Amino acid sequence: MDISIFGLGYVGTVCGVCLANNGHNIIGIDVSDHKINLINQGLPPIVEAGLASLISDVVSNKKFTASKDHEQAVLNSEISIVCVGTPSRVDGSLDTRYLEEVCQQIGNALKLKNNYHLVVIRSTVLPGTVMGQLLPILEEFSGKKVGEDFGLAMNPEFLRESTAIEDFYEPEMTVIGEYDQRSGDILESIYEGIDSPVIRNTIEVAEMIKYTCNVWHATKVAFGNEIGTIAKNVGVDGREVMKIVCEDKKLNISSYYMRPGFAFGGSCLPKDVRALNHLSRQKGIKTPLINNLMHSNEMHVDNGFRMITGLGKKKIGFLGISFKAGTDDLRESPLVELVERLYGKGYDLKIYDKNVDYARLHGANKEYIEHVIPHVANLLDQDIDSVIDHSDVIILGNASKEFEAVLEKANGSKKVVDLVGFMNDPSCENRLGICW
C-alpha cells in the first residue's frame, strides 16, 4: 500500500521504516532538510537499535523516500499517517499547532484528489481532539465529507525508545480508533502479519488509552520509588520487596483492581494505607503519591454523594452496602459512609443486603452493627422488591449476582445509580454509572 507519513521524528521514522520493511511504499514528510537528506542517503535521523540497517535496506530498495512536498505525498498515497509532535505548553496544556498545520496541508491536498483517502492520527492527543479540532479542519480545507470522501482513524503508538523496532513487530496490542468501519478495515490491513490482538473502538477511547497507559507507567515508577524510599529508611532493601511483590500475578500484576468503580474499603486497604503514611511521616519522608491515596478515595465517595443528591429525589434504596459482594464486612465500607451522609441530610433510605442482614443476627459483625452503626442496621429490609418499590433512586452498591437483573426490573420512572459496573452502556437520563 502507498502510505505518506507526516513527521519524521522518533515515531514517524520507526513506523515508516518498519512499514516499508513489510513491503509498503512510504513517503515521509518533514520540514527539516537535514532529516530528509539523511533518510534519502539511507541514514537514520535518530539513534535506535537496529534502525540503521533497516533504513539502509528500505531506502536502497526505494520503499522509503523523504520529501517536503506534502501535496504530492497525499496525491500519491492511499493513507496519510500523522506523527508530528504534541509538546506541552508552559501551563501543561497540549500544543496542537503542528497537528493543525498538517491537517490543513492534508485537507488542501485532498481538495485536489478524487479517490478516497484515509487520514490516521498517530500523535498523542487528548480525548476529543481528533473529532473536535482536527476533523473540522480536514473538512474545511478539503471541502469534503468524512465517511464519504475520506476516512479518519486514531492509532496510538506504544513504542519505547531503545526497543522501538521490537515493539513495532511484537506489540501487546494494536489499538484502532475508527470513525467508521471502512476506516478501521483499511488501517487494520497495514498491520497484517503482525501477531497481536487488534482492538477496534471509538476514536475517543483510542485517544484516552494512550494517556491512561503512560500515566499508569508513571504511577508505577513513582510508587516503586516511594516504597523504596520508605523501605530504605527502615533498613529494608526496596528492590527485594518490589521483586517479590511482582511475583504475584493474580492480584499485584494483573487486571484485578484495574477497573473503574466505587471507592475501596474493608478491613485491610484503608488501615494499611494509613499505617504506611504514618510511618513515612515519622521518618520525615515525603511520599506524595501514597499520602494522597486516602484523599483520592474520599473524593470518589464525594462524587457518588453529589451524583445521588443531584437527582433531586428523596427516596433512596441501596442494594448492597458491604464493601464487597459475598461478604458481610461493613468495616470502612464506603457505601456505609454514603448511607450515613444521606441519612444525616434527611433522605428516606432503605437497604437490602442479605449478607449484612444475616450478620445482624449472627456472624462476627453482629457487635459492630449493633454498637457502631445501629441507625444503618435499622434501615435494612429483607425484601429486595420492597426496597425497589419504595425507592425513586436505586443504588447498585456491590457486585452481588442477584442485582444483575435490577436494571431491567426497575421501571422507567426510577433512576438507577450503578457503582459497580452492571451497565453495559454509558450513563443516560435514568441510568447513571459512577465512572461511565
Give the separation between CA 254 and CA 435, rounded to whole angstroms: 20
CB-count burial class (<10 Å; 0-12, 13-18, 19+) for 73? buried
Neighbouring-strand partners of residue 29:
6, 67
Q: Cβ(99)–Cβ(123) under 8 Å?
A: yes
Active site residues: 268
Name the strand (E) or helix (H) holding 82. strand 79-82
Closest CA to 101 of 122, 113, 86, 116: 86
CB atoms under 10 Å from CB of 346, counted, come to: 8
Neighbouring-strand partners of residue 393:
316, 415
Q: Helix/strand/coil (H, E, C) string of 360-428?
A: HHCCCCHHHHHHCCHHHHCCECCCHHHHHHHCCEEEECCCCHHHCCHHHHCCCCCEEEECCCCCCCCCC
42: left (phi over 0), alpha (psi -120 to 50) or beta: left
For the chain, the straight-line distance linking the first and the last C-alpha, in angstroms and rounded, comes to 38
Give the strand pairing for 393-396 and 315-319: parallel
Q: Cβ(8)–Cβ(66) under 8 Å?
A: yes
